[in-house]
Structure 1
Amino acid sequence: MTTTPHHAHRGASHRYRALRDFVRSTDDALPGKLEIAKGGIVHDLLSPNGRHELTASLLRKRLERVMPEEVVAHTGTPDVEDEYEGIMRRPDVMVITLADMEVPAGFDPRTLIAAIEVVSRSHPDNDRVGKMGDYPLMGVPVYAIFDPRTGSGAVLSDIHSTPDGPRYAVREDFVYGEDVTIGGWTISTSGLPRYQDDGAERDES
């Protein structure tokens, strides 16, 4: 077993705080969304479009209908951050208890029940590759991906150790129209919008 020298981690922590301060100071001034991945700053240049935001809203509504009152599907700020790993992410939807939201700054990723991402049309690898590595490293127990490009997705869970670091051991794929279970609660994926749709009717229930 190898350990990281204390001074090395202190240097990494200092670098992370500098990146975090930069991201927070420019977040409202730049288009798109800024996050800090394990490899550095990720900038999705385009702001989320209507179908992306509609998907996140529908998932939030459907989850909150079946979850107990003390659990919410939160969209928005603050970020989820792990200073030790040097990662700061902002999931599209965070399943978390109200009690665990009572924090002064960013959410502790290990208090999340699940993180949900709607794949970005402009930067899909950030959700399908980058976050698939970062979330288990941060200790997020369940990661659900919804991809409006393909009308499909996956729910990843059961973090385990690998030679390349923590990874999800279980992956359950689904296509739009099937029911999906996230963190113990099952919702429908029927009627979720697709990026190639042009004004087709959707079930917004």
Structure 2
Amino acid sequence: MTIASDDAQRDTSHMYRAMRDFVQSTDDTLPGKFEITKEGIVHDMMSPSGRHELTALRLRKRLEKVMPEEIVAHTGEPDVENEPEGIMRRPDVMVIAEADMDVDGSFDPRTLIAAIEVVSRSNPDNDWVGKMRDYPLLGIPVYAIFDPRTGTGAVLTDIHSTPAGPRYATRKDFVYGEGVTIGEWTIPTDDLPRYGDETEL
């Protein structure tokens, strides 16, 4: 086991704050979305497509039909952040208690009931690899992925310790058209849009 020196920890924290300041300074000035991972800044250069946003909207509405009123499926800002881990992410949909949204700054990721991502056609590894690694590190108990490229997805649960750090132990794959259970709630996945073959990104 390696324990970083105080100087190393300060250097890491300083680097993370510098990256966070850069990401926050780019909001609304550069296209795409910036997030911070264990490897550094991830930039999805393409703005979300209509089909990406329509998928997120339909998932939000379907979840809010079946969840208690005090639980919401939130799309948009702010980020979820764990500064000691050096991670700042912005899920497409965050299932969270409305009371836990009443905070200054970023959401505490440990208050999320689930994070949902709609896979970007321009950077699918960000959702299938990077966030699959980062979300258990953040303590988010359920991670659901919807992939409009293939009409498939997966729900990951049961965080457990591994030599590489916390990981999800259980993965349930699905195809569009099946019912999908996220947390305690099951929603239909029929009529979710798929990316086209030409210009949809």
| Fold-level similarity (TM above 0.5) | yes
Q: How many residues align?
A: 198
Look up the equivalent residue of 1:59 and give its one-letter code: L
Displacement after TM superposition at 1:100 (Å)? 0.8
Partner of 1:172: 172
SS in structure 2 of the partner of residue 113 of structure 1: strand
Question: What's the offset of the Cα at 1:5?
Answer: 3.2
Q: Deviations over 1:155-202 (max 9, x none)?
A: 00100010111100000000000000001110000110000289xxxx
- Aligned partner of 2:72 in structure 1 is 72
Letter in 1 for 2:129: V
Letter in 2 for 1:70: E
TM-superposed deviation, 1:2: 4.4
Structure 2's unaligned 5+ residue stretches are none
With structure 2 as the length reference, what TM-score do the two structures score? Answer: 0.95
CA distance in 2, matches of 1:114, 1:141: 6
1:162 corresponds to which residue?
A: 162
Distance of 2:24 and 2:140 partners within structure 1: 22
In the other structure, the counterpart of 1:184 is 184
SS at match of 2:88: strand
- State the alpha-carbon separation in 1 of the partners of residues 9 and 85 from structure 2: 9
Give, in whole Å, the separation in 1 of the partners of 2:132 and 2:173: 14
CA distance in 2, matches of 1:36, 1:91: 12
TM-score normalised according to structure 1 size? 0.94
| Residue 16 (1) aligns with residue 16 (2) | yes
1:42 aligned counterpart, secondary structure: strand
Deviations 1:135-167 (A, max 9, x none): 111111110000000000000010001011110
3-state secondary structure, aligned to 1:84: coil
Corresponding residue of 1:125: 125
- Which residue of the partner structure matches residue 104 of structure 1? 104
SS state at 2:21 partner: helix
Percent sequence identity over aligned pairs = 76
In structure 1, C-alpha distance between the alignment counterparts of 2:60 and 2:83, rounded to whole Å = 27
In 1: Cα distance, 2:16 partner to 2:119 partner:
25
Q: How far 1:27 moved relative to its partner?
A: 2.0
Task: Name the CA distance, whole Å, in 1 between partners of 2:187 and 2:6.
Answer: 45
Distance 1:8 1:197 in 2: 48
Gaps of 5+ in 1: 199-205
RMSD of aligned residue pairs (Cα, Å)? 1.2
1:4, distance to aligned residue in structure 2 (A): 3.4
Structure 1: which amino acid aligns with 2:185? W
